[in-house]
Structure 1
Amino acid sequence: MKKYIAGFLLLTGHVCALQAASEDVLELNVEDLLNVEVTSVSKKAQALNDSAAAVFVITHDDIKRTGATSIPEALRMAPGLDVARIDSNKWAVSSRGFNARFSNKLLVLIDGRNTYSRMFSGTYWENQDVMMEDVERIEVIRGPGATLWGANAVNGVINIITKHSSKTQGGLVAAGGGTEEQGFGAFRYGGKLGEDTTGRVYAKGFKRDQNTNAQGHGAGDDWDKVQGGFRIDSQLSSADELKFQGDLYHSHLNQVLSKPSILAPYSTTFRDKAEAYGGNIMGRWQHTFSTQSDISLQLFYDYYRRNEEWMSEGRDTFDLDFQHRFGLFDSHELIWGLGYQLTSDRLESSTIFSMSPLLPTGKISYSAHSSRMRWN
């Protein structure tokens, strides 16, 4: 009986809190509701109401209310995005239609780090993960964004922004389990490293059960993953800010593959246990001259390895990005920048997949961001 009373009290307190939050929202006017800050439209902080693009912002509270445990699940809230779950460990995410496992022309950023894979000009969603409790907001731009972000942003931009380390001080533990989410847990601790420097570390992991196929049997797509990382933010001076962060992950992804054959029934299916692991490290420095002028320099290194029955892939990417924003006369603003990227890949053939002739193991590409004039 005591358990039921305690549960009722907790439920009553939760309902009261929701009612209070609803009343606060109802008291806001339209301008306050649109006064949400975004940074992905013009590569600077501006109000959502002033952004010249179709933008939708998924806030931290939105993620908490829906109970999303992964980035693709959270993206279901954004209008104009097609999010489909292929199996337990694979997603198809696209903007403006044409949804498929290897959809491209959609740029995905995590704190400014490009998750683009040259293997198919898209994103391996099972590789990209963050601690959901640390997500501050997800900005979704529907429509062309290639002017500022490059050729892969033809159909839109998804920018996942995590909280400043000063906002995640202290410890946090989250854990749970169930029939599908068989077990998951996360730990994060943040603290001060100096007078103007804060940091945090985190570790998370999960194990998810397989789906059920049309015959009522297990689909053989269960998977597990562990990941950890850190972030350090330092205010070097009143005008200089430095950010340094990194992540490591390792996962096992079970899947069912089809192997073509020249004899009837012309294909055979078999189960495969794929392995995916990788990591990244990124640094970003920003100097602010005034409210209308600043420069930033960002560089990151990212690597991942995928070992599957049909192919093994390895990729290393080094990316350098510079940007300068300043006011021009009284009614113009100019943003220009330069970028350099070096990527090296390694593909190993199998009985299912082969390349002839063999592709070169290293590729170098250069990119430059276009200058943009914006009327104030």
Structure 2
Amino acid sequence: MQLVQQKRYAEGIAELEKANEILPHPNVVFNIARARAEAGELDTAVAGYKEYIATNPPDRVEVELVLAQLEDRLAAQKVAETKPPAPEPAGPTPIAPGEVPTPPKPAEAKSTEPQKPAAPIPQAIVGEARTEDVYEETIITASRGKQSPLDAPSSTTVITQQDIRLSGITRIPELLRRVAGMDVMEITGGDSNVSMRGFNSRLANKVLVLVNGRSVYNDILGSTFWELLSIDVDQIERIEIIRGPGSALYGANAFAGVINIIPIAPGEGKPGLRVGYGDQQQAYGSAWATGRQGDIGYRISAGYTRYPKWTREIDGGRSDVLFAPVNQFTGAESQRIDIRTSKRFGKDMSLDVGGGYANSKLDVYGIGPLNEYNFDAANGDITVDFKSKNFNARTYFTRLSGTGQAAYDYIGHTLYTSHPRQNVFNTEAEFVGTFGENITHDVHFGLGYRLKDVSWEYLRGNDIEHHGSTYVQDSIHFGKQFNIVGSGRLDYVPYLKKIVPSARASVIYKPTDRQAFRLVGASAFRSPSFLEAYVGLPIMLSVPGALYYSGNGREDGSRLQPEQIISAEIGYLNQQSDLFEFDVTAYYQRVTDLIAVQDNRNVTLSDRLRGAGGFDPSAGRYIATFGGFTNQCDTHNVGGGELGARVYPVEGLDVFANYALNVSTQDKPSSCAIPEDKRTSRHKVNAGVQVRTKMGLNGEVSWHYQSAQVWQEKIATADGVVYQQFDVRAYMLLNARLGYRFYKDKAEISGTVFNLLGDSDSDPLQMHPYGNRIGRRFMAFFTYSL
């Protein structure tokens, strides 16, 4: 664009065409057409504007007026070129008597110089140039509005379509592993748990996961079932990761951060399919259709995945064990369909309507003494999303239901068969406005309501909760260098019967346009899940006739308090060079009131006098001890840092690497007997290389290292539920993919390998003490797009 502004049109157009060949974008097509028009090349300019209009851009009406004026000029130019020349005299001019004849003029030599193009077209006709960098990375989750990561008030990372495609990874949690500070723990083929900056766990509950801004939080257990999403990785445009507390904008459960999975928009891209098959009967299938008719776009996708368990924990020949009537080798088997449409109303207004459905058989690990659990579940949503310049609104309904039971237990025990159900209705409205001149304010104000309707045989208490929220955010810009962002939110939590506040403040200083310093302070909370708040679960002990009752009743009438976090961080991001970028962050977190399984308490005479304990007819056993959930008495002080870089030495070659440090200590009063928490690896490293060649070969090699951990887990014994300590050794993962594109880049064959070095029976990789022992996996894929 700088070359075009300097009127070096041929050079500028050549660069733009090269960019559009690598990654097509309508704005680049517009700028090429505009440059040709400025240069007077009306034929190719008109063709370029028509190509741009065919993408149905928001400013289609304005550009159609530009095109009409250019077509009029082109028609007039062609008429002028075809106008016949003045006629030549029919013969020699007669000579009067005595007149000297004039010698004929010599024929003019034809010029060999190239013809100059027609006069340039004024800017008033060709339209305003698209000066924004369409290839620049953008974030919408950090501030609920589109912005550069340089302007974001939190630490951010984007996983792009290129990262997804070149990695060959088909599971979203494994994609997240490549991000600095992320904790990813794979327990079975269908159970992956994700946290950030520590505190990962079974049924991980410290991160809020969104799909295009819609929460997919499981209110029953407080976790995310990744295999129950109605989209697969081929439908994802990008994944935005916001590290650090996010409750100031997103409320309860955005405790450690936010992950927003942003699908490809309706009408974008091309139809296609991808199928894959691998060892141990792994399978993957995805097909999608997309198109646009005028202002209406649509996208329809369907998919299937099957991931086996890495290992089976109990041999099928055991005569003393009762097994659930499911395939004991299945980690996850899922079918999904997703339909989304979008309607434009002018340049700044749109309405999106759609829904998705997924059915999955999952093998997951619960918390406390209830370990391997099979869940046959269905999950669906209906979503309506309205966007305009100053007002946004979203309403959605989701339903999760299914049948769950323990994978196995001893003969004479129960499999705890149950039928969980969750209905959620959510609506939110947001007002957006910008005002000011020298000092500008970008203000967001929102209101929200969430209805939770939950039932489960092992819950005692409220089935329906009404949640309300309000938030405000002001981004104050002082020129181009300083930006102050203040965010605050109030959430009403029915279980707590009170309003919980959250806040975030950020100061951003940009010494240049392409580098930024960031100072952030924030608070967040996680409210108790329905399981933690209303549990009423009888658990059979190994002692015949004895029962451990996990319940939410408290003798003093108190309630669980929300988990709380206060965080401070300082960061620096540098994107000065076209050849590399890097960022560095240091943070401190103070965490209190973590919710955990409480120590068991034996039944006493006073319990019997007030009617507690005794024989439980539903289980046919006597209650010997009580349990449930409690807030831990310790305070966690967590310090750490993240360093990441990405290098682009030549076109088609990307090198990335990052490192995360996490150091945690605990403050405990003398009466607090909580074990030392060492479940977070102190060191994590990622590194990788991506390659794209013009001949069609492409791929990636990535490496991950994680240092050792020590897990404190509670298990059921004859004496009740007690802590035990488990060591998890340090491990490495080496993953690779190689692909070849052919048939005009429409088709591709590829192969991927997960854990290339990990096939040792003597020292297998294990990410959790209860988890499967993870080996090597291969998959082959075929992809085709129209």
TM-score by structure 1 length?
A: 0.79
Alpha-carbon deviation of 1:146?
A: 1.4
1:366 maps to which residue? Answer: 468
- Secondary structure in structure 1 of the residue aligned to 2:142: coil
1:301 maps to which residue? Answer: 397
Closer, same or farther: CA 304–233 of 1 in aligned 2, 3 Å:
same
Q: Alignment RMSD, CA only?
A: 2.8
1:267-278 mapped onto 2 (5 Å cutoff): 273-278=374-379
Gaps of 5+ in 2: 1-20, 23-132, 317-326, 406-415, 478-786
Q: Check if 1:209 corresponds to 2:305.
A: no
1:327 maps to which residue? Answer: 434
2: CA distance, partners of 1:112 / 1:148: 12
1:86-105 mapped onto 2 (5 Å cutoff): 86-105=187-206
2: CA distance, partners of 1:241 / 1:258: 43
Closer, same or farther: CA 121–219 of 1 in aligned 2, 3 Å:
same
1:176 maps to which residue? Answer: 276
One-letter code aligned to 2:232: M
In the alignment, which of 453, 457, 461 is matched to residue 348 of structure 1? 457
1:245 maps to which residue? Answer: 354
**Contact residue 219 and residue 256 of structure 1 kept, 8 A:** no
1: CA distance, partners of 2:224 / 2:275: 28
Closer, same or farther: CA 62–367 of 1 in aligned 2, 3 Å:
same
One-letter code aligned to 2:198: G
1: CA distance, partners of 2:154 / 2:269: 31
Alpha-carbon deviation of 1:304?
A: 0.5
1:198-237 mapped onto 2 (5 Å cutoff): 198-212=297-311, 220-237=329-346
**Contact residue 275 and residue 307 of structure 1 kept, 8 A:** yes
1: CA distance, partners of 2:195 / 2:330: 22
Alpha-carbon deviation of 1:258?
A: 11
- Secondary structure in structure 1 of the residue aligned to 2:202: coil
- 1:310-355 deviations in Å (ceiling 9; x for gaps): 3331000010011111124332221110001111011124xxxxx5
Alpha-carbon deviation of 1:35?
A: 3.4
One-letter code aligned to 1:329: G
Q: Check if 1:189 corresponds to 2:289.
A: yes
Alpha-carbon deviation of 1:33?
A: 12
Alpha-carbon deviation of 1:117?
A: 2.1
In the alignment, which of 245, 255, 261 is matched to residue 144 of structure 1? 245
**Contact residue 70 and residue 129 of structure 1 kept, 8 A:** no
Alpha-carbon deviation of 1:254?
A: 4.4
Alpha-carbon deviation of 1:204?
A: 0.5
2: CA distance, partners of 1:44 / 1:181: 43
Closer, same or farther: CA 209–104 of 1 in aligned 2, 3 Å:
closer
Paired-residue identity, %: 26
1: CA distance, partners of 2:452 / 2:241: 27
Alpha-carbon deviation of 1:213?
A: 5.2
2: CA distance, partners of 1:348 / 1:184: 34
Alpha-carbon deviation of 1:104?
A: 2.0
1:60 maps to which residue? Answer: 161
Structure number with the bigger relative contact order (C-alpha 8 A, sep ≥ 6) is: 2
Alpha-carbon deviation of 1:189?
A: 1.0
- 1:152-188 deviations in Å (ceiling 9; x for gaps): 212101011011122134x311111011452221111
2: CA distance, partners of 1:367 / 1:347: 26
1:23-42 mapped onto 2 (5 Å cutoff): 35-42=136-143
2: CA distance, partners of 1:259 / 1:111: 33
**Contact residue 244 and residue 284 of structure 1 kept, 8 A:** yes
One-letter code aligned to 1:296: N
Q: Check if 1:70 corresponds to 2:171.
A: yes
Alpha-carbon deviation of 1:273?
A: 4.4
Gaps of 5+ in 1: 1-19, 22-31, 261-266, 289-293, 350-354
1: CA distance, partners of 2:334 / 2:306: 7
1:13 maps to which residue? Answer: none
One-letter code aligned to 1:306: G
Alpha-carbon deviation of 1:91?
A: 1.0
2: CA distance, partners of 1:258 / 1:97: 17
Aligned length: 325
2: CA distance, partners of 1:118 / 1:255: 16
2: CA distance, partners of 1:124 / 1:214: 22
In the alignment, which of 419, 428, 450 is matched to residue 312 of structure 1? 419
- Secondary structure in structure 1 of the residue aligned to 2:299: strand
One-letter code aligned to 1:186: S
1: CA distance, partners of 2:211 / 2:223: 14
Closer, same or farther: CA 255–162 of 1 in aligned 2, 3 Å:
closer
- Secondary structure in structure 2 of the residue aligned to 1:61: helix
Closer, same or farther: CA 44–371 of 1 in aligned 2, 3 Å:
same
TM-score by structure 2 length?
A: 0.39
1: CA distance, partners of 2:351 / 2:289: 20
1:255-270 mapped onto 2 (5 Å cutoff): none
Alpha-carbon deviation of 1:274?
A: 2.6
- 1:210-231 deviations in Å (ceiling 9; x for gaps): 2125899997443311000111
